Structure 1
Amino acid sequence: MVTIHGQQQEDFSADNLSTIGQKKVTITLHYHRYDEDYSGWNLWVWLDGKNGRMVEFTDDRPFGQRATFEMEDPSGITRVGFIIRKSTDENDWASKRFDDRFITEFDENGHAEVWLMQGTERIFHHEEEINISPEIVSAKLNTWHDISVTTNLAFDWEHDNIDVSLSGATIQDISVSKDHHSSDHAHQMTIKTKESLSLHEKYKVTISHFGDCDVSYGNIVRTEKFDENFAYDGPLGALFTKEKTVFRLWSPVAQKAILVLYTKEGAKKAEYEMASGSCGTWHYEESGNLDGTVYMYKVMIDRNWQEAVDPYARAVTVNGEKGVVVDLARTNPPLWELPAPPLDQLEDAVIYELHIRDATIDHNSGVIHKGKYLGLTEPATVTPDGVKTGLDYFSDLGITHIQLLPIYDYWTIDEKELETPQYNWGYDPKHFNAPEGSYSINPFEPSTRIMELKKMIQAIHSKGMRVIMDVVFNHVYDVPCSSFHLLMPGYFFRFKKDGVLSNGTGVGNDTASERRMMRKFIVDSLVYWAKEYKIDGFRFDLMGIHDIDTMNEARKALNEVDPSIIMLGEGWDLPTALPSHLKASQANADKMPGIAHFNDSIRDHLKGNNFSDHDSGFVNGRSGYNYSIKQGITAGMYLPYDNMEYRCPSQVVNYVEAHDNHTLWDKLLLTNSGASQEDLKSMHKLASSIILLSQGIPFLHAGQEFMRTKNGDHNSYRSPDHINKLDWNRKAEFEQEVRYVKGLISLRKSNDVFRMKTKEEILSRLHFFPTDEHLIAYQLKASRDKGQYEEYVVIHNAHHHPVKFHLPSNGLWHILANSHQAGTEPLSMINRNQIEVSRLSTFVLAKPFRLR
């Protein structure tokens, strides 16, 4: 090593230099100082292993100063070192800017030209990369004593002549930190104030050479105090009447807001400055009938203009590119005012989860509008072989609710290219209050998708079924492009302590439901769908991301619309930036009455862990799960769960498969690869029967009744139609199994003993018999006024051999379900106290009331 200018450098002697270097190089170095003080500044330049020399700057207006010099070395030059220093009469090295830097890029003639900025360590190779006008990018109120200031150019706080002042408050301290995203010396400073800062005071930061900047809201937007000051209770969005439309936006951080109107072809038509209102709102009123008017909001935040779709938009253009004013009354089909089918109690529900495209896209479906909203309005559809399909089939099955995978507008389908097959489940939300366009026959006409969705809901209602909507408020697909972020950055999402977005969802971000305007948005959206579209229930994706208060407020608001609206969700305890005791998780179910949770315990104990291909459960051969299955059968009422406190059975949704992960059939193939098809069918029916006869709310995945397969695809969210479609030929092939599930549903509906409403009822009317690990049997005591039977016995046999079971009493027993059939009519009768239960099967026996 050799020492140069007090710095240790590698010894690049002639023997070590690359032979590809230039023997002579010419360098032009431009240097700009925004304080315009070039007095005493010069360059010290050197070659590796050689002594250095000084180079003086000359005038280089308008950029600043320039130094041009040559370096020679017969061994070849691969880099030239330099330092910018300030010399005085007393000391050539009075000060310097940064440590050794090197120029390494030369053209074929040995020329190099670079640009340097005061306070910035980076070497620029093109002048257009540099903005030489220093300015303050933003000044943000982050805490009650901190203002974070960002500049477009770096500065050297220790050496540059920088003065900082703050109007409206007294500076106590200033600290400067290096921007971690660049090699520049400093872009950010934090101003600490002596007094506590106010949300309503106007502050301004001034930095010498950088100008001034009004202080806007930064991290402070995520405080309770901010919510107390700016939470707004009134209506938001484009509020339409035929006489006028009022546009109202919430963005307390915006300095200005503009309403932009467009033609239907997308050309800008007009801009109107919006007036500021209470609680950080902006509004503009336009007279006349604006039905069909295309609009956007444009806001100025921290000197930058951002344009965004109204987050409350109820109609959108193709691909959700812009919002549209809509006369919703015009979108109602005839007889829209007719009520939905009644639901006496939540436990009466039998939920069937369905993806709109899956339902009818099969070429054998007999549906004209395949994969569309209208495909689920078509009656009397059949396959070429006459097998019932579509809406009539779902109705015939006996289910009470169709739960639709997302139908709001989502990101990843190009609605302009629907001739090309595209698929997605829709868990990538874009516009929460407008329907998805890819299910419409005309996504280019904003009101058409609304009309078609309403027709579909009406058709489902007309067949005696209700509609549950899958809602995904827990995250957005793309934070930087989301309307939430563009209009109100930093507010609608959770952040960790280090300032990084919280990611409990696993898809990059978590929305912050605990903040009042996010909570308001969720509740407003739910009420809107319930009222405008007559949605009868909501399934909350990753509900455990949300907070308890938001879910309870949603329940209260929906009760005012219709108390029979179902709320259910995935109450997983996810690692989001929210304390566990506040999460809307299963562990906190007792704090959320009227809200149901998916029961992953019975799911995994029936078939094996959902996330392990080869783990098995009760129906496919594993011991030790008897007790856990009993917990599910009683909805946790008779045998409570360790970590879940359910108040009543309607809080528990029992299921064994859903759109996520392997279908039950595919899971059984993995865990029992050597089993016969008949044994696989038996295991499958055993699992489905346990779900359909348990207390709580049963849930079926579409096609589960005909043992749906996705050919082993466990995450088919964007897989092609041949993986995801409902295969109507398979339905015909498994017709006996379909009839079996249909019979179990009718049996469940036939007596309220299968649908008890309270914990007390279950404790008094359900009793388990002692059995071994592979057998579960229980007695249900019926009411005399609720049907012809005084008691039922349900036996689930997971053994691979028949089992003789002793009934609780002698006398006449009707067999309502066996290994092949189920229903409300007796399959056969026995007059003894013993029954042989077939292998891998469920038997249901009922004792008629004796004449008195």
Structure 2
Amino acid sequence: MKKSYILTLAMSVASVASPAMADWFFRGTANAWDATAMTQVAANNYQTCQAFTGGDGGGGPRFKIDRLGNWSENYPASDYAVNANTSYQINFNSVTKAISATSVASCTGGGFSKVFPSLYFRGTPNSWGSTAMQLVANNTWQVQVYFDGQSNQRFKVDVLGDWTQNYGDNGANGSLEQSGADIFFSAQGDYLLTVNDQTKQYSLALQTCTNNCGTGVESLGAVYDSAGTTFSLWSPDSSSVALVLEGVTHNMTYANNAAGYTDVYQVRVDGDLHLAEYYFTVNGQRVRDPYGKMAVPQSDTNIVMDMSRTEPVGGWAARPALENREASVIYEVHMRDFTIHASSGVDPAKRGKYLGMVQAGTTHNGVKTGIDHLKELGVTHVQLLPVYDYATCDGLPDSDPCYNWGYDPRNYNVPEDRYSQTPTDYENRAREFKTLINELHKAGIRVVMDVVYNHTYSKEMFNAITGKYYTPTDLSGTGNSIDADVPMVSRMIQDSLEYWVDEYNIDGFRFDLIGIFSHAEVEKWGAYLNSKYADRNLLLYGEPWNGYAADPKEGQRVRYGTTRFMAQEHVGVFNGAYREAIKGNNDGTATGFMFNNVSAADNGWAIFDGLRASPYDANDSRNGTWFRNFTGDPEQSINYISAHDNFGLWDKVYLSLASNVVQNASHQVVSLTPPADLGYPKRVVNFGMGQIFTSQGIAFVHAGDEFLRTKTADEQMSLASAWNYGAHGGTHNSYNSPDSFNSIKWHNKSANAPTFNYFKSLIALRKTHAGLRMTSQADVAQYLSVARPGEFSGQVVTGYINYPSDSHNLFVVYNSGANVYVNLPAGNWTRVADADGATQVAGLSGSALAEGTAVTVFIQAR
């Protein structure tokens, strides 16, 4: 049990302003959608308490917040769903439009009274992030904080979590003053912070464990040192927790809450345990270590690791410089695809492996392959499809034909064994992956990991520990969605991210289905990583959708409509709206702007917006969950046409320009007549990617698009059967299709050299001109003038750029139709890019030719 020692502080009373009635109204099933005025409790904050019973004919219990009570402006875009037969204290911020609903005993006396709508702890213990405090009694807020005793340890409390109304202590006397001084606190340990929002008094209570206690928690999992290893596991539902180490059982005891960890059981075992095998049991049931750093292949047995013995030979090279995140050009690739084909030129033993990707000096048909190809192309980042330990394709040695993308996690912190040449040499398996990253860094290329924290392979992964790992509603479409709204689950994700950054020197993360997470949790991860690793310019981005699920927390999840809230934390999303405006649909033959289907691109306006990195405009009446203008910063728009999902770029273009195409309900191709001439399809590829490379935001390329890679079986594009694999998969969804579909055939690089040279030259152009990668939406608004000339009816979109950080002005023209002449801005111009890529035509003024189905770029020296 715990014993509290109260740190007594002097108290004083501060005045409290009387609440005023607001012009914001509650409307929902609780009041039959009538308009009930909310109470203003702070400058921009309003609240009401409502008792919900059941729903109505339109669905379950839910509500909206309505401006003026006339439906002229209301939030969120989709109704905010709550539980039946529950009372809620509802808070609304009229500036950010953030809504929270906290369950209370009742709204007629059982609900707690309060002055503040919310309260957050912010200080050095949480890297000045926003940790929500809980209302536990009338006007009484609490949060438990671990203070580690660092120098200048301090904190404040913040009403909204945005610093607009924060409190400190000017007199260091236990009395809070608005905008007061930081509260310094030199002690170490777990403390309960209590704040009274009416009297403005606060206290700190030391939380000390006196019975059945382990030591403080440094980190979960197995923390190694040469004298012993400390094993820790979160077990919120059971105290029957044990460690089985090399066949010997060690009972684990409850540990002091520390460093933000709660409900942890722990045991320390003496001795040098490097490479010792272990697992945990909960209620006698064997479970894996969610924090495990290494695992025995095809098992739930983990390995104790002294990670200092796994460093790359010669030590870590310097990280490649990155001027700003908008300068990134991302290259997405699957580890096996890249080198498994003999045409890669990689040594047979290294094909499809970590070290194969970075084998230097490989060629095919006289052109560079592998890592030298990446250097030649000019990309800044490689995004690796999952390389942590995943569940399918367990066969070792890697001699069977099993293939999988890896979106079925088993051990989040363990390098996948099938990509290692020595999967049971645990030190070397880790070293191989570190060597991959190190060699890419030496080549000037950063590394982004594709991470799948949204689900596990099955609930068997964690369910025996606690069901709290998983959401009540299946949000990922896999039956085992991870619930990051549970604090210790969110902390596991944050710890895993930090582990890859700290131990393996990873430079960023692509989140699979980041849309199942609440944006507030993602903001915490971003704020923490970017604070602790501020010099890294980490890339953080993901898919802002879920697995086609109805989500009761829709309004608080990562969506286009909430992306702008993550701008300060440098978190972006894939811009699917721009993608579809450019190309049409993903798995069929419907076309977009790059095929001269102007209407599919909203008569050119969607291209107009995408060129600007889709900036959010608070005054746009179309704003909502999925409106195409959503970013608070250009870096939040990941601009792309194709990725591993859906048809690849060349397959999409080829199929869309074929005739007599018939597809079944699973998108498989039943029949087609191939395009008669491939000249125009190749031009369409250049045109689409030219837009990606010249738009504001971050550019993204899927591996092989630069030389017209097809994922049809053995490249037999003219045969309908070659597009399909199994009942549902194949070219459009090749997650488990064999190497005949997925492997990169490097002969395409020389066969399609003009396409490769186009990609290469447009990437070089982007790197040369800062005007193509501006670093704020304010700069984009000021220095980029986008036009959609009326005489071309949306066929032509232009952008004039006069960015001060660039040595040249630029004029970019997207022309989806026939050749036209466009008016140049005043002065003399040089055409530097056209349908074929780099060119150099000087002395242009007045009007100039802009080729059809092409991006044309002109520059003007200042």
Give the TM bin, normalised by the shorter chain: 0.5 to 0.7
Given the alignment, which residue of 208, 214, 226 partners 1:242?
226
2:652 maps to 1:661: no
Q: Partner residue of 1:207?
A: none
Which amino acid is the alignment partner of residue 352 of structure 2? G
* Per-residue Cα deviation, 1:451-486 (whole angstroms, up to 9, x for no partner): 10000000000000100000100011111x21x211
Which amino acid is the alignment partner of residue 283 of structure 1? Q
Unaligned segments of structure 2, at least 5 residues = 1-133, 137-141, 147-215, 257-261, 659-674, 713-722, 724-730
SS at structure 1 position matched to 2:520: helix
Which amino acid is the alignment partner of residue 820 of structure 2? V
Deviation at 1:335, TM superposition (A): 3.6
SS at structure 2 position matched to 1:597: strand
8 Å Cα contact 1:366/1:381 also seen in 2: yes
Give the 4+ runs in structure 1 shifted more than 6 A. Answer: 227-233, 638-641
8 Å Cα contact 1:510/1:576 also seen in 2: no
Q: Partner residue of 1:299?
A: 282
CA distance in 2, matches of 1:364, 1:443: 25
Q: Partner residue of 1:622?
A: 597
SS at structure 1 position matched to 2:638: strand
Say which structure, 1 or 2, has more relative contact order (CA 8 Å, 6+ apart).
2
SS at structure 1 position matched to 2:419: coil
Deviation at 1:228, TM superposition (A): 7.7
CA distance in 1, matches of 2:487, 2:295: 26
2:494 maps to 1:511: no
Given the alignment, which residue of 752, 761, 769 partners 1:751?
769
Which amino acid is the alignment partner of residue 816 of structure 1? V
Within a 5 Å distance, the mapping from 1:33-72 to structure 2 comes to none
2:699 maps to 1:722: no
Within a 5 Å distance, the mapping from 1:93-172 to structure 2 comes to none
SS at structure 1 position matched to 2:431: helix
2:295 maps to 1:316: yes
8 Å Cα contact 1:512/1:518 also seen in 2: yes
CA distance in 2, matches of 1:492, 1:547: 15
Q: Partner residue of 2:856?
A: 843
Deviation at 1:726, TM superposition (A): 1.4
Within a 5 Å distance, the mapping from 1:662-681 to structure 2 comes to 662-673=647-658, 674=675, 676-681=677-682
Given the alignment, which residue of 303, 323, 327 partners 1:344?
323
Within a 5 Å distance, the mapping from 1:194-205 to structure 2 comes to none
SS at structure 1 position matched to 2:485: coil
CA distance in 2, matches of 1:576, 1:376: 40
Deviation at 1:776, TM superposition (A): 2.9
Q: Partner residue of 2:341?
A: 362
Which amino acid is the alignment partner of residue 607 of structure 2? I
2:672 maps to 1:701: no
Which amino acid is the alignment partner of residue 835 of structure 2? S
Distance 1:830 1:230, change over 3 A: closer
* Per-residue Cα deviation, 1:351-394 (whole angstroms, up to 9, x for no partner): 110111111111111111100001022111112x2220001111
Given the alignment, which residue of 460, 465, 471 partners 1:494?
471
Deviation at 1:680, TM superposition (A): 0.1
8 Å Cα contact 1:347/1:756 also seen in 2: yes
2:545 maps to 1:572: yes
Distance 1:710 1:372, change over 3 A: same
Q: Partner residue of 2:263?
A: 280
8 Å Cα contact 2:596/2:853 also seen in 1: no
* Per-residue Cα deviation, 1:319-338 (whole angstroms, up to 9, x for no partner): 24310001100000134343
2:751 maps to 1:733: yes
CA distance in 1, matches of 2:860, 2:440: 36
Unaligned segments of structure 1, at least 5 residues = 1-222, 263-268, 496-501
CA distance in 1, matches of 2:265, 2:805: 61
Given the alignment, which residue of 568, 572, 576 partners 1:600?
576
Count of aligned positions: 598
Q: Partner residue of 1:651?
A: 636
Given the alignment, which residue of 505, 525, 541 partners 1:554?
525
Deviation at 1:549, TM superposition (A): 2.0
Which amino acid is the alignment partner of residue 810 of structure 2? Y
Deviation at 1:693, TM superposition (A): 0.4
Q: Partner residue of 1:127?
A: none
Given the alignment, which residue of 245, 248, 266 partners 1:261?
245
Distance 1:706 1:277, change over 3 A: same
* Per-residue Cα deviation, 1:387-414 (whole angstroms, up to 9, x for no partner): 2000111111111000000011000011
8 Å Cα contact 1:319/1:437 also seen in 2: no
CA distance in 2, matches of 1:230, 1:291: 33
2:545 maps to 1:581: no
Given the alignment, which residue of 808, 825, 846 partners 2:825?
808
Q: Partner residue of 1:152?
A: none
Deviation at 1:610, TM superposition (A): 1.7
Distance 1:732 1:492, change over 3 A: same
8 Å Cα contact 1:494/1:577 also seen in 2: no
CA distance in 1, matches of 2:383, 2:299: 24
- Aligned-pair identity in percent equals 33
8 Å Cα contact 1:230/1:280 also seen in 2: no
SS at structure 1 position matched to 2:368: coil
* Per-residue Cα deviation, 1:201-238 (whole angstroms, up to 9, x for no partner): xxxxxxxxxxxxxxxxxxxxxx999x989999741100
Given the alignment, which residue of 799, 808, 813 partners 1:779?
799
* Per-residue Cα deviation, 1:777-825 (whole angstroms, up to 9, x for no partner): 32333346632x2x211111111x321222223x432111011122xxx
CA RMSD of aligned residues (A): 2.2
Given the alignment, which residue of 486, 498, 514 partners 1:543?
514
Q: Partner residue of 1:820?
A: 836
Q: Partner residue of 1:95?
A: none
SS at structure 2 position matched to 1:605: helix
SS at structure 1 position matched to 2:610: helix
Q: Partner residue of 2:611?
A: 633
8 Å Cα contact 2:448/2:509 also seen in 1: yes
SS at structure 2 position matched to 1:486: coil
2:311 maps to 1:332: yes
SS at structure 2 position matched to 1:786: coil
CA distance in 2, matches of 1:510, 1:390: 35
8 Å Cα contact 2:589/2:656 also seen in 1: yes
8 Å Cα contact 1:320/1:409 also seen in 2: no
Q: Partner residue of 1:375?
A: 356
Which amino acid is the alignment partner of residue 268 of structure 2? E
SS at structure 2 position matched to 1:559: helix
* Per-residue Cα deviation, 1:292-321 (whole angstroms, up to 9, x for no partner): 000010121xxxx21011111001111243
Deviation at 1:647, TM superposition (A): 0.9
Given the alignment, which residue of 842, 845, 848 partners 1:829?
842
CA distance in 1, matches of 2:255, 2:143: 16
CA distance in 2, matches of 1:592, 1:846: 34
Which amino acid is the alignment partner of residue 824 of structure 2? L
- Mean CA deviation greater in 764-773 or 837-846: 764-773
- Mean CA deviation greater in 664-673 or 283-292: 664-673
Instruction: Normalising by structure 1, report the TM-score.
Output: 0.68
Q: Partner residue of 1:432?
A: 412
Q: Partner residue of 1:98?
A: none
* Per-residue Cα deviation, 1:620-672 (whole angstroms, up to 9, x for no partner): 13122111111111011288773353211111111100000001211112221
Distance 1:274 1:779, change over 3 A: closer
2:440 maps to 1:420: no
Q: Which has the larger radius of gyration?
A: 1
8 Å Cα contact 2:798/2:811 also seen in 1: yes
Which amino acid is the alignment partner of residue 258 of structure 1? A
Which amino acid is the alignment partner of residue 603 of structure 1? R
CA distance in 2, matches of 1:767, 1:230: 49
Which amino acid is the alignment partner of residue 682 of structure 1? R
Which amino acid is the alignment partner of residue 777 of structure 1? V
Which amino acid is the alignment partner of residue 234 of structure 2? W
Deviation at 1:417, TM superposition (A): 4.4
Which amino acid is the alignment partner of residue 834 of structure 1? S
SS at structure 1 position matched to 2:326: helix
